[in-house]
Each structure stands twice: as structure tokens, then as C-alpha cells.
Structure 1
């Protein structure tokens, strides 16, 4: 399932208080999507890394109550009020005894004398066994207590996220050109760094910090691996040859267009970011000169930047001229 579908499914499960387990390869964004859902619905988020727990950590420690009986002091990280998501991250990485300690909590919403408040839901996540990550096989008794969702990276969903999180434009253009590099994890290889939605976010953060030319290759390679880093740096070099957006919008009918498809992606990305009602006539002229796949890309991204342009005559004329493609 793509991230947006995972989010929709989790929202449904939250309403019925049904525990869920999100399966996915390292770096695809399992933890992040749970955090985003909590923020979206104004829910508290308690993130428990099960791998860091001992079996006794969940139940707490015993004490003698006023009647001389043994009572258990629940750990402070378990919620006692309000509404939220109890997120058991890396659950299948935890030793079997820790997973067993979660049985009652997940099924009955209780753990000894502790009871999960009514407004809280339980979501768990972990890597797949096929990813060769450190995992323990989940006991069937625990697995049967949850709805299982398979998380797959999706470029369109990632680009939508990137638009709202200040990801550097060149990176978005590059991954449009090389979508298979959004997540290229091979469990058969013992690579320390590999392309993933998480590691590309690292790259964007690194570039925003404006590293020196002497370290940029090592930094990007350290985030996404040598192959992906080499391709991206070559893409950046090609993009440096692009005319400025001002030059493009001043002469959209005569400006020389690049031959390299990768650079055309970058051109569309940079021009679309400047879209407005004032410049849509020039953008439409440029779009008419581009191959149809880039023309659609440019106008679609321009509309995402400035939705009001779809009401302009220039956009309407372009849409009419390409109606056979758009239907």
C-alpha cells in the first residue's frame, strides 16, 4: 500500500480501536506516517521502542498496597488519560519475551492492573523478515491480534510530502527523473547507505546547510550510497547550465531548451515554483514548446503552486489544445 492508503487505513482502524501492524523496508517512513497522523488529528503520541525494553519494563515494579497485597506500579511512559496513539515501533525487533509481554496490552488493552485509556489506539511497526534487518519472528498469537498493512514507498506521495516540507527543488526534479531511486534497498547487499525516503530527506537537509564543495560528495554518498550519489551530483552539474527562471519567463518562445530529459525535469520544477496568474501566459507558451509529458508536468506543477491559474484563459487554451491527452 502507498503511504496515503496506509494513512487512510490507519485512520479507519483508530476509530474502531483496532490494533494494526505496519510492515515495511527500512527507511520508507513507517514511523513518520504515524507521527503525521497523530499531529493531523491532534492526538498525543507515545513512541515506545520495544527493542529497548525488558519484559518487566512494561508491567512495572511491584509494591505493597495498604491492604498488604502486591500491586504493580505501571511505567510512567504508559498513558493514563486523554486521546492518542500508543506506537510500538520495531516491535518484531524485540526479543520474544518482550513481544509476549505485549499480548495482553494489544488484545485486551490491559497489562496487569494497568488499563489503556479509552481514547487511545495501538499501532505497531517493524521491518519485514525478507529485509534481512534484525528481527525476531512474530509469534502467531501476537500476529493474530492485529491488522497487518504492507507499506511501499510511492513517488507521488513522497513528492506531495516534499512540497510541504521544504525539500530542495533539485532533489524533487531528480527523483521524478529517476523514480526507482526513491527507495532502492537490496537486502542481499551489505550496503551501509542506500536510497530511501528517509535518506533522501537527509540529503535535502545536508544541501540546505550549504556544505563545502570538498565534502558534498562524501556527505551525499554517506546518505544514499555511491551509485545514487554519483547520479544526483551529475544531475546537479547539468542543472547548473540551466538559464535562470527570469530568462525563461522573459523569452519563453525563443529560449533554447535543453536536450537532456533530466535537465528538462529541473527546468519544469524551477519554472513551476514561480507560477502565478501574472506569469501563466509565459508558462503556457513554454509548455507548448515542450514534449507533451513535460508540458503536462509543467502545467500540473504550476497549478499546484498557484491553483488560481486554472481559471485563466492561458491555462484553458492549453488544456483545450491538449484535451486528447488530458481526458
Structure 2
């Protein structure tokens, strides 16, 4: 998203008491976003470059009293609530440092020191790519689920406007205007793909949605949701919320053959996730009772759904049929009936 959009949404997220995480390549303006928000809201900005810190810098040094040991406040600790605490370079921070800030993210405190009421927290990082020096890849879902992820990419017209306001030389501005491909290298930001919905993430999404008008929900609803529950759940939520694409229930698809509205790749992928989840949880007797219908309707689904989406269902069936579980035989039976079709056999061979 554009820098101005990221700034706008980051402010909304913090107003709701949640934490935005700006993900973008170096030089796109992540720190400038924090500075702008601080200036516009008349807040003090405290920047913690986590890659340059150790756990002791975050939790403070121990001191001994007459009866017990206490931790002194670190020198950066906010003195009032009109503050933005900006946690920069969390991807370059050592795992021990990320562990140290976990309590700050969860409880807004470290040891016996509680953040002043009203303090805003935001964070920033580079994408999880090999070209960046990263102490540890962030793979802990409990850590990443504390944030709303906002992926930031520069926009040429936006940058040119900023450049003129900030006295960037005319030669540079003219060059970028004529050759916009040299402003930045287009690379994907892949962190969002690891996001999964959870009860906590839906609660956090609700907090932010309460701060948005209906027009803002229409414009930013998907971006906000994708940053906390992941793109597929966000697409399903957004389409359901605005009645754009009604995704059929799993039972109506598998048992009754009511298959429609699957031309949209996001709708198809959402249905795949729901089918896999349903088949993972449904009891064997139900599947056995509907064996012929499920097999037949899955074949029909393969004819309507984009092939790359249906591969997700097929791969699940093949994997489950090969496992030594109590339900493996029923998945094997479903596959056996489906593979009576030559096109199904061909798809399985392509897996």
C-alpha cells in the first residue's frame, strides 16, 4: 500500500489500542510515517532500534532494596501517555530481545513498570528475505499475531510530491518522473502469507473496525483484515460483509452439489480452506453415509473451480489417504471413486 495509506491506517489501529507493524524495504519511509503521526497527534516519539539493543536495555538494570531486588526503569521509558513507542528493526533483533518485548506487547508493561495510559505502540521491519541481515526469522505465531501487518511500497507520484516538499533536487525528481522504474526495486513482501486467523485476531480486528466509518470499511476493510487474519480469511470476511460474493457452505457443496460463484480465485481458495477444515473434523460415519455424493461433487467442483485452487483439496485427500489414521480408509475410498475419471488421475499425477 502507499505510504499515506499506511500512515492513515496505522493511526486508526493505534487509536483502537492495537499495534501496527509496517513491513517494507529499506528507504520506503517507515520511520517517517512514525514521525509524521507523532507530529500530527502532538505526541513524543521514542524510537527503539531493537537490532542495537540487548535484553537489559529493555527491562532495565536490577537494583537492591532492603528486602528485595527490583528493576530500574530504562532511560527510554515514557513519562506520559502522549507518546508513540516505535519498535524498529524487529526482524534484526535477537530472539532474546523479542522475548523481552513480548510482555510489553501483551500487557503493556515490563516487570513492575506499566506504560502510561494512552501510550501508542507501533513497529517496523524489513521483509523476511535473504538479502536482509536477520538474527532470527520471525516464525512464532504468538509473537506476530500481536500486530496488524501493513505492507508499505512507495508510489511514484506520492514520492515526487514528497520530494518537492523536501527540496529534493530537480535533476533527481525529473529523472524519477521519466524513469519511475528506478525509484525502487519491485519485490514481494511475503510475511502476510504466514498469518492465520485466531480468536485473538478477530477480537483485534473488531477493535479497529469500530474506529472506521462505513466508507472507510468499504475502502480499507480488506487491507485491515488481511493484516491480522491473513488474506484468505480477510477475503471471505470482506465479501461476506459487503455481500460481494456469497461462498456456499461446505455441506451444500459436498452433500447437495450446490456449486456456484467460484470463478473468483479468492472465493475458491476460501472454499478450499473450509472444505479441508471440514473434512479434517467430520466423523467417519457422516462421510461414509455420503460417500457417493462427496466423490461425485468433488469431481464437479474440479470442473468449476480454478485448477490451482482444487489442487489444495486433492493434495489433502492424497495425504490423508496415505496416513495411518482412523479416517484414512474413507479418504482412500473417496479418491478411488474420483479416480475413475481420467482427468482426476491426471491431476493426481501432477501433484
Q: What is the TM-score with the length of structure 2 in the denominator?
A: 0.51
Runs of 4+ in 1 over 2 A off after TM superposition: 184-187
> CA separation in 2, counterparts of 1:95 and 1:174?
40
Structure 1 residue runs without a partner (length 5+): 188-327
Q: How does 1:79-94 map to 2 (within 5 A)?
A: 79-94=78-93
1:77 maps to: 76
| Deviation per residue, 1:58-108 (Å, 9 max, x gap) | 111122235x12211010111121412100100110011101111110121
Query: C-alpha root-mean-square deviation of aligned residues, in Å?
Result: 1.7
Q: 1:186 & 1:123 partners in 2: Cα distance?
A: 23
Distance 1:82 1:152, change over 3 A: same
Match status 1:8 vs 2:29: no
Aligned positions, number: 186
Q: Structure 2 matches for 1:1-327, cutoff 5 A?
A: 1-66=1-66, 68-130=67-129, 132-135=131-134, 136-138=136-138, 139-184=140-185
Return the offset for 1:186: 7.2
CA contact (8 A) 1:6 1:151 kept: yes
**Structure 2 unaligned residues grouped into runs of 5+:** 189-351
Q: Structure 2: how far apart are the matches of 1:131 and 1:175? A: 27
Partner of 2:251: none
Q: Distance in 1 between matches of 2:15 and 2:29?
A: 22
CA shift, 1:56, in A, is 2.1
* 2:91/2:128 contact within 8 Å kept: no
| 52-61 vs 91-100, greater mean Cα deviation | 52-61
Say whether the 8 Å CA contact 1:58–1:101 is kept in structure 2. Answer: yes
Q: What is the CA–CA distance in structure 1 between the aligned matches of 2:95 and 2:80, rounded to whole Å?
A: 29
* 1:126 positional shift: 0.8
Instruction: Give secondary structure in 2 for the equivalent of 1:119.
Output: coil
TM-score (norm 1): 0.54
1:155 & 1:120 partners in 2: Cα distance?
33
* Contact 1:22–1:151, Cα closer than 8 Å, also in 2: yes
Shift of 1:42: 1.5
Shift in Å, 1:184: 2.4
CA distance in 2, matches of 1:185, 1:65: 56
